[in-house]
Structure 1
Amino acid sequence: MTHKTAVIGFLGTTLDNGYNERRWQRWRPTVSLCLHDDMLVDELHLLYSKRDKQLFDIIVADIALVSPTTQVIGHDIQLESPWDFAEVYAELYDFVADFAFNDDTQYLLHLTTGTHVAQICWFLLVEAGFIPADLIQTSPCPKPEQMDPQGRYQTIDLDVSRYDTLRERFEAEKAQHWQTLQANLITQNAAYQQLISDIEKVATRSTAPILLMGATGAGKSQLATQIYALKKASNPTKGTAKTTGQSKYTLGKFVEVNCATLRGDVAMSVLFGHIKGAFTGAASSRDGLLKSADGGLLFLDEIGELGLDEQAMLLTALEEQRFYPVGSDTPVSVSFQLMAGTNKDLRQAVADGEFRADLFARLNTWTFFLPSLKDRLEDLPANIDYELARLGSEQQQQYRFEPAARQRYETFATSLDATWQGNFRDLTASMTRLTTLADSKVIRVADVEAEIERLCHLWALPNNSAPSLQNSLSNKKVDGHFNTDFNTQQIETASDAVLEQYVEESVLATIDPFEAVQLAYVIGVCQQHKNQAAAGRYLYANSREQLKSPNDSDRLRKYLLKFNLKFDELN
């Protein structure tokens, strides 16, 4: 089967320029593409701005004279600055995403025209597999006096292993422009844009602790990684200027640990290290993560899960820049920047006595509240595109939605039925499933319908599968009053269903009927509140005023402990 040849490239506003007859005596890269007998161009796609429409019309007319079979197709693009990496990449990515690539066409990407920023972006898109094309370069004849308008062309073998230096340059460009790229590509939410802008300023100007607060899956860990990359690229000055000038330093390692995985003595050892023989099983010394982060950045995710003893040692390390490994009498000096993440409201944790007030005060210099996906629904389309691009890059494929399928998915994703309980983790998992199961790399309406059903099923389990006495009673209300047909036996049955879900059988056997109903009601209240303190305030709203030192959270905690229950286990 004979393949068509299509070339994609920018209109060269300088190199392609020329309005009088002398233009035929000089080399013009776009026109030269159509002057080679050994390369017949069937389609020429030119990207240009409206302000260059006159030049575009001249090029179309000239190509019609030298290559009548070539169809020139113009694509109007809007670039405020062709030297802005983020803007150019975003525009080209959108162009590629909407472009209909045909299997019977050989595509060539013309690199000669356009700024070097555009060339870099073309390279990245081809390398990632988003553009199924080879690269082509055109150049004038090596002897200018020959006045050859045809010039030469060269197809580039994109074996990136042969272009390590070039790749390093591109990676450096991406790192340099991370700040703008994130602000322009990831969000359209004004509040989040301002948040990112503030974080960028803090990351490049401050070494004080940074606290990221937000629900699970809101992107705290990913943002921490990006902050580190930005800090490392910015290479801040260290210390004060001396007579020899300001010194620079290279930021050390990025060390991340999820504090929810740390318990008891293990937590101390992992964070602060230990000496040989400090405890049973300590056959050798260990530096600990604080020492590993010396000179760098330590990210403690879910810092609200740290025990009070670990919190005290961490505070000492922050304020005095030294700590004692487990079992050691010799302090270890460290200097690191701390970033912390948590899905808890540490303000409430301090009030409940679960988090040290002095450590929170130390962390609270820069506190940023990350919004959940439900609070950034206008960003769903952009994040869907991001996931398609990321998964496509990993698999060296180009995934896309059918238009009707994309509309159906976005309509559901922004509706009240989409709870996005896991935030962006849910979206990532959803896009992974869609791209994996899609035939021919095209996501169709049937694929979306199946995924919507899957998501609804997954989201229904945590909230709707567990029985609740309040849910059972509310089903028996008529006009706000309990139906008189709902008798004592039904109440006991409803409470038993709740307790069997959570209470150990041995404990359940000791509970009186009236106590069972009360406990089932308390469990229902706990399930309807975000934290133990809020549930306690609801349950003890009246009796609180009669106590000298009310602590609703602690009262509820002690009540639940009577039945071997904990608040977190009920949600």
Structure 2
Amino acid sequence: MKRQVVIGFLGTQLDAGDGPGRWDKWRPTVALGMHEDFLVHRVDLLADERRYGKLLRTVQKDLAQVSPETELRVHDTYIEDPWDFETVYEVLLGFARAYPFDLEHEDYFVQITTGTHVAQICLFLMAESRRMPARLLQLAPPRKQGSGESAGSLSVIDLDLSRYDRLAQRFEREQAEDRSHLKSGIATRNAAFNRMIEQIETVGSRSVAPILLMGPTGAGKSQLARRLFELKKARHELSGRFVEVNCATLRGDGAMSALFGHVRGAYTGAVGDRPGLLRSAHKGLLFLDEIGELGADEQAMLLRALEDKRFLPVGGDKEVESDFQLIAGTNRDLARRVAEGRFRDDLFARLNIWTFDLPGLVDRHEDIEPNIDFELERQADNVQRRVTFNREARERYLRFATSPEATWRGNFRDLGASMTRMVTLAPAGRITVETVDEEVGRLRRLWRQEAPDDPLVALLGERLQDVDLFDQAQLREVVRVCRRCRSLSEAGRLLFAASRERKASSNDADRLRKYLARFELEWTQLGRDGQ
């Protein structure tokens, strides 16, 4: 068995006692040697020998009497003010660093019954941080003083919470609930996304550094920022507000005023003071969406506010303070904008401590179905009636939604809008195949309108939806080549150069004409670049 060692303070009040009557009093340090089921091999006692030498000798003698096998070592310790936290902690930290812990042969216990409350707190922190690799030892007096039973009770507290099954399960459950909250309660299945949410939850609970959320429009950056604020608010980590601003809407002279406020008379129309969004977020969370759109002056002011928690309002000569946590969102490649000179490298470095790239819906096919169920529940709350798919309609919608044809350019905004339309139009509370077919056609038209640079949209129109994606990819390249060439023959020679070398092609222009005819296209419809 390992030797058991107890570290603690001499109790200048609790351990005191003179004459034979002292044995009728419960004295915690002496009581350490009175527990038959807890053998103490050594007591390391911190005490001021100059001031409490007599008491130390009495305690040492009495402990030897009740437990001859227990060694008592005195560590002469002077603390100028035992109620000053900084002083006590510094003394204990020095003691812990110099102490020769022998974990292979000894088990350590920190006795937190004696000493000032400040000393007890500092001992707790030492054990909790493992600067003292020990368990806590709490002693208590007997129920009746002078009853002849002077040992009292003894409890061991292990701060390794993983040893407490119910606590560990509760923490795991609460952590799972927090992560579910970040996902709006949606049972997402994408493994990479779930791992990212776990990291965001961990970072959110341990760090106050800025967080950068990257990803396409509609990927859920704003929703995630608000959910993270709600978590931190519930944990009492933030006491202020959630303030959100889309930086793309900040333009011209009004941008500085909106963010940093202004004083009366700062410019024409400034009839009163304005606090600005940064001050409104004091002790709270500021979410700057589309931060890549900020102007150069605003970027410089924001950097100063992040580093110093201070800034000048527009037109002001006195700095103001605001201590907020920042979450920034962007669908831009900020590293590229830095290289182009359009975003400050020092601000990017400050934001790039915790960066998370939110994937678009097209990269999370596994999560489309649970998001559909979430939207159905949300719509039920909005319209006060429950709407469901019939089985065939659900399968058809899912098949389209997870196909390469579904580009989900607006990500979850597109999905939410799609579900809103189907729920509204659903006859008798059931989304039918006919409703799904109408919605699929609507989405196809929407995405074609949002992709005007695609030459096939202009050339084929509605017929594009009948062309396989494989053929679409090939046809786009053919059209691109044709538009660079002066004639059908030149385009044919370029497109069929390899087969002509093998003498497998006799008439390149005719082959190209027949290929275009498959899609009801003619050479004259394509047009050349620059024409």
Match of 1:439 in 2: 427
* 1:460 partnered with 2:434: no
Aligned: 1:262 with 2:250: yes
The one-letter amino acid paired with 2:320 is V
CA distance in 2, matches of 1:425, 1:212: 17
Please name the residue that 1:179 is paired with.
Answer: 179
- The answer as to whether partners of 2:214 and 2:358 remain within 8 angstroms in 1 is yes
Q: Deviations over 1:529-569 (max 9, x none)?
A: xxxxxxxxxxxxxxxxxxxxxxxxxxxxxxxxxxxxxxxxx
CA distance in 2, matches of 1:311, 1:234: 31
Give the alignment's TM-score, normalised by structure 1: 0.51
- The verdict on how the C-alpha distance between 1:251 and 1:449 changes in structure 2, with shifts beyond 3 A counting, is same
Equivalent residue, structure 2, for 1:213: 214
- 1:213–1:342: 8 Å Cα contact kept in structure 2? yes
Equivalent residues in 2 for 1:11-410, closer than 5 Å: 177-182=177-182, 185-236=186-237, 250-410=238-398
The residue matched to 2:329 in structure 1 has which SS? Answer: strand
Please tell me whether the aligned partners of residues 178 and 201 of structure 2 are also in contact (alpha carbons under 8 angstroms).
no
Q: Residue 164 of structure 2 aligns with which residue? A: none
Percent identical pairs in the alignment equals: 53
Residues 479 and 436 of structure 1, relative CA distance in 2, 3 Å threshold = farther
Cα displacement string for residues 405-452 of structure 1 (whole angstroms, at most 9, x for unaligned residues): 000000000001111111111101100110011111110000000000
Q: Distance in 2 between matches of 1:329 and 1:344?
A: 35
- Looking at structure 1, the residues matched to 290 and 348 of structure 2 have their Cα atoms a distance apart, in angstroms, of 13
Cα distance, 1:321–1:465 mapped onto 2, change above 3 Å? closer
Per-residue CA deviations over 1:240-268 (Å, capped at 9, x if unaligned) read xxxxxxxxxx5200000000001111110
* 1:471 CA displacement: 7.4
**1:354-412 C-alpha deviation (Å, 9 max, x unpaired):** 11000000011111000110111001110000000011112221110000000000000
SS at match of 2:315: coil
The superposition leaves residues 249-306 of structure 1 with CA deviations (integer Å, 9 ceiling, x where unpaired) of x520000000000111111010011111111221222110001001110000000000
Tell me the secondary structure at the aligned position of residue 527 of structure 2. Answer: helix
- Structure 2 distance, partners of 1:411, 1:387, is 18
| Structure 1 residues 314 and 471, CA gap change in structure 2 (3 angstroms) | farther
The change in CA–CA distance for 1:268 and 1:409 in structure 2 (over 3 A counts) is: same
CA contact 1:311–1:356 (8 Å) conserved in 2: yes
Distance 1:186 1:315 in 2: 37
Match for residue 495 of structure 2?
481
CA distance in 1, matches of 2:431, 2:383: 16
Runs of 5+ unmatched residues, structure 2: 1-172, 459-475, 483-487, 497-507, 513-522
SS in 2 for 1:298: strand
CA distance in 2, matches of 1:480, 1:450: 42
The alpha-carbon deviation at position 176 of structure 1 amounts to 10
SS at match of 2:216: coil
| Alpha-carbon shift at residue 464 of structure 1 (Å) | 4.3
> SS at 1:177's partner residue?
helix
- Tell me how large the CA RMSD over aligned residues is: 2.8
User: Whole-Å Cα distance in 2 between the matches of residues 454 and 407 of structure 1?
Assistant: 18
Contact 2:181–2:227, Cα closer than 8 Å, also in 1: no
AA in 2 matched with 1:179: R
Q: Give yes or no for contact 2:182–2:227 (8 Å, CA) kept in 1.
A: no
**For this pair of structures, how many residues does the alignment match?**
311
Moved more, 397-406 or 273-282: 273-282
Cα distance in 1 for residues equivalent to 2:262 and 2:524? 56
CA distance in 2, matches of 1:337, 1:181: 20
Please give the alpha-carbon distance, in whole angstroms, between the structure 1 residues aligned to 2:401 and 2:289.
28
> For the residues of structure 2 that align with 1:390 and 1:443, how far apart are their CA atoms?
16
Q: Distance in 1 between matches of 2:492 and 2:192?
A: 43
Name the structure 2 match of 1:411: 399
Is the 8 Å Cα contact of residues 303 and 341 (structure 1) preserved in structure 2?
yes
Equivalents in 2 of 1:400, 1:326: separation in Å?
54
Distance 2:259 2:416 in 1: 31
Q: Answer whether contact 1:271 1:289 (CA < 8 A) is retained.
A: yes
* AA partner of residue 305 (structure 1): E
Q: How many Å apart are 1:175 and its aligned residue? A: 12
Gaps of 5+ in 1: 1-172, 237-249, 499-515, 518-571
TM-score (norm 2): 0.55
Q: State whether residues 182 and 228 of structure 2, in contact with CA within 8 Å, keep that contact through their aligned partners in structure 1.
A: no
**How far 1:474 moved relative to its partner?**
3.4
1:175/1:233 contact within 8 Å kept: no
Show the counterpart of 2:527.
Answer: 494
C-alpha distance 493-373 of structure 1, shift in aligned 2 (>3 A): closer
Output the amino acid matched with 1:343. Answer: N
Letter in 1 for 2:430: V
Deviations along 1:295-338, one digit per CA (max 9) or x if unpaired, are 11000000000011100000000001100111111111110001
Matched residues in 2 for 1:217 and 1:344: separation? 13
Post-superposition Cα deviations, 1:32-61, rounded to whole Å, max 9, x if no partner, equal: xxxxxxxxxxxxxxxxxxxxxxxxxxxxxx
Structure 2 Cα separation of the partners of residues 459 and 318 of structure 1: 40
Distance 2:233 2:363 in 1: 30
Distance 1:224 1:414 in 2: 27
List 4+ stretches of structure 1 deviating above 4 A: 173-176, 181-184, 464-473, 482-486, 490-493
CA–CA distance in structure 2, aligned partners of residues 465 and 363 of structure 1: 34
Tell me, what secondary structure is at the counterpart of 1:185? coil
AA paired with 2:179? Q
- For the structure 1 residues 464 and 268, does the alpha-carbon distance in structure 2 shift closer, same or farther, using more than 3 Å as the test? closer
Q: Distance in 1 between matches of 2:493 and 2:402?
A: 33
User: Which residue pairs with 2:413 in the alignment?
Assistant: 425
Shift in Å at residue 466 of structure 1?
6.4
Contact 1:297 1:339 in 2 (8 A): yes
Q: 1:426 and 1:449 mapped to 2: Cα distance?
A: 16
Contact 2:390 2:430 in 1 (8 A): yes
Letter in structure 2 aligned against 1:474? V
- Structure showing greater radius of gyration is 2
SS of equivalent to 1:225: helix
* 3-state SS of 1:313 partner: helix
Q: Return the alpha-carbon distance in structure 1 between the equivalents of residues 176 and 398 of structure 2.
A: 33
Superposed displacement of residue 470, structure 1: 8.0
Q: 1:493 to 1:189 in 2, by over 3 A?
A: closer
Displacement of 1:180? 3.8
What's the CA shift string for 1:514-540, capped at 9, x where partnerless?
xx46xxxxxxxxxxxxxxxxxxxxxxx
CA contact (8 A) 1:218 1:424 kept: yes
CA distance in 2, matches of 1:492, 1:408: 35
What SS does structure 2 have at the residue aligned with 1:361?
A: helix
| Kept in 1: contact 2:479–2:526 (CA 8 A) | no
